[in-house]
Amino acid sequence: MSIFGSILSAIFHHAKAATPDTTSPANAGAQPSAAAAAAPGTIPPAGTPVNVDAVLADMAAKNGQNLNWQESIVDLLKLLGLDSSLDARKKLAAELGYTGDTNDSATMNVWLIKEVRQKLAENGGKVPAGL
């Protein structure tokens, strides 16, 4: 699986795991409570974008580390339990089409966090415009 595919999978899997199952016989016809529907980490019905920041904030709250996942690709990868090494970030940059110097890791990292957020939005994630 690609590195970006792993990022997508980690976020969307976490969101899906946090959603109540209303299809099982025990829960057939059940509707999530208003509190459950608004809780961070939940996702709306199929076809509706996943609130990426809510999912990540929920994961961060449970993680216990002080990670700046909103602005740091390294911290985002750590939060998702993925390899955050320079080599992994260079591979992610190549996968996403980075054309800059991968030896300038600061510039590459800034590009990566922006590009990952953009790609999440393009793949069914709801990401705030300001980030």
| Cα–Cα dist 51/66, whole Å | 21
| Cα–Cα dist 21/27, whole Å | 7
| Cα–Cα dist 69/80, whole Å | 10
Per-residue pLDDT of the chain (131 residues; tens, 9 = 90+): 899 999 999 998 877 765 544 443 444 443 333 333 333 333 345 567 889 999 999 999 998 899 999 999 999 999 999 999 999 999 999 999 999 999 999 999 999 999 999 999 999 889 877 55
What does pTM read for this prediction? 0.75
CA distances from 73 to 76, 77, 117, 124 (A): 5, 6, 10, 20
Residue 13's CB is within 10 A of a number of other CB atoms, namely 11
